Every structure is written in C-alpha cells, then in structure tokens.
Amino acid sequence: MKKVLQFLRDEEGATAVEYGIMIAAIAAVIIAVVIVVGQKTNNAFSNVNNAMPF
C-alpha cells in the first residue's frame, strides 16, 4: 500500500509531460512563423520577377 501511495504522489512523470507539451507548442509556433515568412518572401520575389522587363 505504501508503494502505491508513493507512486501516486510522484510528480516526475507530470513534469516530463509538461515539458513535452511546451516543446510541441514551441515547435508549432516556429512552423507557423516559417510558413508566414516563407509566403511573404515568395511574394516579394514574385513581385520583383514580375516587375523586371524581359
């Protein structure tokens, strides 16, 4: 019984899960920023390409 109560009070697993959630959230933000910046960069190059006379 003492081992079960000790296992239920152990918070190390919860900390690992919290770190995993934080890492996933940071990765999602980085991916979103890269997509937005990539689209803006692509638009800028397209505008320059369209403005150049051939």
Residues contacting residue 18 through CB under 8 Å, at least 6 positions apart: none
pLDDT of residue 53: 85
Cα–Cα dist 32/21, whole Å: 17
pLDDT of residue 37: 98
Per-residue pLDDT of 6-43, as tens digits, reads 877 777 767 788 889 999 999 999 999 999 999 999 99
- pLDDT at residue 49 is higher than 80: yes
pLDDT of residue 9: 76
pLDDT of residue 21: 94
Q: Supply the pTM of this predicted model.
A: 0.63
Cα–Cα dist 54/43, whole Å: 19
Output the DSSP codes for 31-48: HHHHHHHHHHHHHHHHHH
Q: Is the dihedral of CA 8, 12, 16, 21 positive or negative?
A: positive
Task: Quote the DSSP letter at residue 52.
Answer: S
